[in-house]
Amino acid sequence: MSGRFTWNELMTNDIARTKAFYGQTLGWTFDPFPMPDGEYWIAKAPDGTPAAGIMPMDPQDTESQPGWLAYVQVDDLDRAVTAVTSAGGQILQPAMDIPNVGRIAVIEDPAGAVIGLMKPVGTPTS
């Protein structure tokens, strides 16, 4: 549904330690998910439903910290991205397609908070 949180991703500098932590504390299991540009894991809740994505941070990026990124579902990603700049926000990651996932962008609101926008595969456009 448009306007609701739909996915979460964790960027980490230690995949093995991160998987061990969330496996032990939340009972998550992890399945590899092929991505064109690198390693990605789908964390699954104890009932087997996808809970989040986990990916390694760029080792060359010495300024970023590990952290979570939440995505909000939108009906029309290109329209939403256009609205971001007119509302005073910034585009941090331009719209891009991810095969079998959908179309995403990462933005920053005028106060500096970062959030992802996503139009998942198979969702109708309003």
- Asked whether residue 5 carries a pLDDT value surpassing 60, the answer given is yes
Query: Whole-model pTM?
Result: 0.86
SS3 84: helix
Sign of CA dihedral 113, 3, 105, 51: positive
> How does pLDDT run across 66-118, given as a tens digit for each residue?
999 999 999 999 999 999 999 999 999 999 998 888 999 999 999 999 999 99
> Residue 52: what pLDDT?
96
> Residue 2: what pLDDT?
86
* Domains of the chain, each with CATH number or no CATH: 8-57 (3.10.180.10), 74-126 (3.10.180.10)
Rounded to whole angstroms, how far apart are CA atoms 31 and 41? Answer: 6
Q: What is the SS3 string spanning 6-44?
A: EEEEEEECCHHHHHHHHHHHHCCEEEECCECCECCEEEE
For residue 57, give the DSSP letter.
Answer: P
Residue predicted with more confidence, 74 or 35:
74
